[in-house]
Amino acid sequence: MAVFAEEIVHWLEAAERQVEERFRDIDRIVDQNQWKVIEAFQRHQVSDYHFAGSTGYAYNDRGREVLDLVYADVFGAQAALVRPHFASGTHTIATALFGVLRPGDELLYITGRPYDTLHKVIGEPGDGSGSLQDFGIAYGETALLPSGGVDWDAVQAKMTERTKVIGIQRSRGYDWRDSFTVAQIGDMVERVKAIKSDVIVFVDNCYGEFTEKQEPTQVGVDLLAGSLIKNPGGGLAETGGYICGRSELVQLAAYRLTAPGIGGEVGAMLGATRGIYQGLFLAPTIVGQAVKGSILAAALFEQAGFESRPGWKDPRTDLIQAISFSQPEQLIAFVQGIQRAAAVDGHVVPEPWDMPGYEHPVIMAAGTFIQGGSLELSADAPIRAPYIAYMQGGLTYSHVKFGLLTALQTMKDRNLL
């Protein structure tokens, strides 16, 4: 049995007393989202025969077809495309963007520079990589205000007739800012459509699903994408992603995933269907466990003298908990402590490395049953100033607690507290 320093246990006890009421708030969100998912299953009469796998072209795979309908229902969208064929969240986002953008169009991100792995998707004109800009699709972005809000003057100045898609990243990514709430995203939709009524609003929804009572497609977003090895997979989906939104836009994304004229009509599920359905069923409750863990992390590390964002009292709109450290050694010790608490690969010591798709060395704690599954307890950080760790996930609250205590003990053992 792990033994933690008396000081660390004292911080934990104080933090858990602080967060009791916040946990009751999370339970209410979990209930509403859990019931919403169950009602969607019932509405579309999900039965065990829907879980059968398919092979070859997989024409008339009724389980796959109903899965799309259930997702569309849960997310308040006209249509959805849910497939294990998406390799990652970045792949899913790229499929959505390439699906709706054409040479001569412009993509404008209004929430600052998007997450690092999208930089290569956006690319440079003539880079030869097949990026958006290599295909003649223009790209622009507006920096956020110092307050973390959208710079509407800059957005108004940058939007032109060429602006086909407005991009919004819901989560903070590797930035020290608040993630955007669904209500804030709804306001963004209203404001950009007041400038250009036919613009398509796209949201990267990764890490945000089921953390609030609504999803962005329920407040006017046209197209939404996310990863099944994050929130909506419930820790069971082994791979995949989802795209949902307006029917014609989802269709275009499906044409990009497979081929024009084929779209979502084919695609063998190869035994993945049951895990995706059951993962969606579990997702609201598992997300609630992870959010509680993030709230505890904020309170606990504030007790230990570190700055966290969001604070433990603040509203939650994604899984990510950012914790700021004064030196890289503290950051590395934190991430290595999270890894030490893992049931899988707990013996492995992560080190910073030049990970593909990232612009700085990155350290990642990823002791997960699903490789890269960030609904499971994980943490990562670019090794650059300011030294901020980004923790997310936790299939059980108890595991998150164990991870946080182990991280603090690792730091203490190295004289970093």
Nearest-10 Cα torsion for 66, 231, 286, 49 = 20
The continuous run of DSSP H or E covering 412 comes out as helix 397-413
Q: How many CA atoms lie within 13 A of 237 on its CB side?
A: 34
Q: How many CA atoms lie within 13 A of 327 on its CB side?
A: 8
Question: b or e along 93-104 (b: 16 or more beta carbons within 10 Å of the residue's beta carbon)?
Answer: bbbbbbbbbeee
Q: What is the pTM of this model?
A: 0.95
Beta strands in 233-342 (DSSP E): 241-245, 307-309, 321-325
- How far apart CA 286 and CA 202 sit, in angstroms, is 26
- How far apart CA 122 and CA 304 sit, in angstroms, is 40
pLDDT at 357: 64
Polymer length in residues for the chain: 417
Round to the nearest angstrom and report the end-to-end CA distance of the chain: 23
- How far apart CA 135 and CA 143 sit, in angstroms, is 24
Nearest-10 Cα torsion for 75, 81, 86, 92 = -60
264-to-143, 152, 182, 202 alpha-carbon distances in Å: 36, 37, 28, 20
pLDDT at 2: 83
pLDDT at 174: 78
pLDDT at 43: 98
Q: Where are the alpha helices (DSSP H) in 87-149?
A: 89-100, 119-122
> 3-state DSSP call for residue 398?
helix
Phi-psi region of 351 (alpha: psi -120 to 50; beta: other; left: phi over 0): beta
Please name which of 174, 178, 158, 175 lies closest in space to residue 166, comparing C-alpha atoms.
Answer: 158
Place of tokens 């995706």: 276
pLDDT at 173: 79
Please name which of 36, 62, 374 lies closest in space to residue 233, comparing C-alpha atoms.
Answer: 374
pLDDT tens for the chain, 417 residues long, are 789 999 999 999 999 999 999 999 999 999 999 999 999 999 999 999 999 999 999 999 999 999 999 999 999 999 999 999 999 999 999 999 999 999 999 999 999 999 888 999 999 999 999 999 999 999 999 999 999 999 999 999 999 999 999 999 999 877 888 999 999 999 999 999 999 999 999 999 999 999 999 999 999 999 999 999 999 999 999 999 999 999 999 999 999 999 999 999 999 999 999 999 999 999 999 999 999 999 999 999 999 999 999 999 999 999 999 999 999 999 999 999 999 999 999 999 999 988 776 778 999 999 999 999 999 999 999 899 899 999 999 999 999 999 999 999 999 999 999
Cβ proximity of 235 and 369 under 8 Å: yes
**Chain centroid to CA 25:** 21
| Residue 367 in tokens | 């002791």
pLDDT at 230: 97
- How far apart CA 161 and CA 105 sit, in angstroms, is 9
